Amino acid sequence: MAGKKVLIIYAHQEPRSFNGSLKKVAVDELSNQGCTVTVSDLYAMNFEPRATRKDIIGPLSNPEVFNYGVEAYEACKKRSLASDIIEEQKKVQEADLVIFQFPLYCFSMPAILKGWMDRVLCQGFAFDVPGFYDSGFLKDKRALLSLTTGGTAEMYTKAGVSGDFRYFLWPLQHGALHFCGFKILAPQISFAPEFSSEEERKVMIDSWAQRLKGIWKEEPIHCTSSWYFGE
Amino acid sequence: MAGKKVLIIYAHQEPRSFNGSLKKVAVDELSNQGCTVTVSDLYAMNFEPRATRKDIIGPLSNPEVFNYGVEAYEACKKRSLASDIIEEQKKVQEADLVIFQFPLYCFSMPAILKGWMDRVLCQGFAFDVPGFYDSGFLKDKRALLSLTTGGTAEMYTKAGVSGDFRYFLWPLQHGALHFCGFKILAPQISFAPEFSSEEERKVMIDSWAQRLKGIWKEEPIHCTSSWYFGE
């Protein structure tokens, strides 16, 4: 939709990968709609995943015992976080919708993307205490996970060996994103592209592009535990 | 127990932290028992969390399109993974029990520890296809998550805002560890040490030391979805 701003956080090493294709069609489709699209290509940026002392510029509030969460909170208030964090926070602040594009690693995000969550969505920027979940600071924004799996759709069912796919979405959608206030759009899961035919992969890519045409009309999912674990 | 080998994967920036104390009492207690204890202090090692081309020494099996999982699998078989990965794999191979000591970040591991999982527990070393879950390659080993939370125990109940603590354990214990065959010991969760009194913190540390005295007699938890999501 013209005028809307989209941030894509993209975590794959290879532009010619299936994840790379999903990212590319999203950029193309959303740009065609007149949206402003920004991509954080984490591997290309060599994004730092480790939460360390280096994230705080200047003196610590307690140099005796280093507490990352406390120091990041104080540094956020004083605008003395590391510049790579501030850059990402600016992009989030501008965005109406944040799309995360990644392959599932061990039922979760690749570490490089986990590091983005750990460092960018800090207290003072994304939430405060109180000021989380429905009152999180990013409550006017939407977030969408677009991910690929190694396992098949069958494996990710209630009776399958890997359990319902919604189980692994809980910490990501509820714990990381909804905690910061984000309204969650339904995930886009492309199951087992590596074990799919060229034809099947094309169908998955097309259905993502197709879905994005109507993305601004979508209602967020009701982000309670029953969506994840209910019958 | 004399003769047993324990690996502690420790992910905290500050030795004088509560996590540091939990790590220290574990080293002390297990050493006193006559166990051989090895610690991977991830921040002190500046452990690399990013899964990249650099993890594969020498030529790629497909230099046209980089597929991390495939290349790591091939490199594992040829013993041409990066030396830091091989070092960690040797430690895991030796261990009877692996303890993960970390603060919960966004309902999950800190990125530096997620990177350890992503890179060290690769196909060919920790599992194969087939050869996962109960037949994962690490099935003769035990794993235990010892973690601290920001939120209180009350928040991590079924009716609490953050849901039952077992919900966030699913991807960690089932998706990352049980997938590789690990038998899972009950988690050790120290809730909200930052909001606890000195006295309460001491109780939590003592109870961890006390538990470790009987750790070799503990039975693994029954690692099915009903443990996580059942009534």
Q: Each residue of A155-191: pLDDT tens digit?
A: 999 999 999 999 999 999 999 999 999 999 999 999 9
The answer on pLDDT for A223 being more than 80 is no
b/e code B104-131 from CB counts within 10 Å (16+ = b): bbbbbbbbbbbbbbbbbbbbbbbbeeeb
Average pLDDT over chain B reads 97
Give the range among A1-5, B46-50, B68-72 with minimum mean pLDDT. Answer: A1-5
Indicate the pLDDT class of residue A113, thresholds 50, 70 and 90. very high
Measure in Å the smallest separation between the Cα of A2 and chain B Cα atoms. Answer: 33
Task: For residue B103, give Cα distances in angstroms to A27, A56, B100, B169, B182.
Answer: 36, 19, 10, 13, 21
Instruction: Tell whether ipTM is more than 0.90.
Output: yes
Gyration radius of chain B over CA positions: 18
Give residue-wise pLDDT tens across range B67-123. Answer: 999 999 999 999 999 999 999 999 999 999 999 999 999 999 999 999 999 999 999
Give the number of other Cβ atoms within 10 Å of residue A205's Cβ.
18
With beta carbons less than 8 A apart as the criterion, state whether B143 and B102 touch: no
Q: What is the DSSP string of A161-203?
A: TT--HHHHHIIIIIIIIGGGTPEEPPPEEE--GGGS-HHHHHH
- For B212, residues 6+ apart whose C-beta sits below 8 A from its C-beta are B25, B26, B29, B30, B33
Give residue-wise pLDDT tens across range A58-101. Answer: 999 999 999 999 999 999 999 999 999 999 999 999 999 999 99
b/e code A165-182 from CB counts within 10 Å (16+ = b): bbbbbbbbbbbbbbbbbb
Q: Identify the pLDDT of residue A159.
A: 92
pLDDT more than 70, % of chain A: 100
B positions 37-56 inside 8 Å of A (CB) = 43, 46-47, 49-53
Q: For residues B180, B183, B185 and B188, what is the CA-based torsion angle, rounded to 10 degrees?
A: 0
Give residue-wise pLDDT tens across range A12-34. Answer: 999 999 999 999 999 999 999 99
> Would an 8 Å CB–CB cutoff place B110 in contact with chain A?
yes
Domains defined along chain B, listed by start: 5-229 (3.40.50.360)
Q: Identify the pLDDT of residue B222.
A: 81
Chain A hits for B168, Cβ within 8 Å: 170-171, 175
Q: Identify the pLDDT of residue B231.
A: 59
A positions 154-173 inside 8 Å of B (CB) = 158, 161-163, 167-168, 170-172
Q: Identify the pLDDT of residue B230.
A: 85
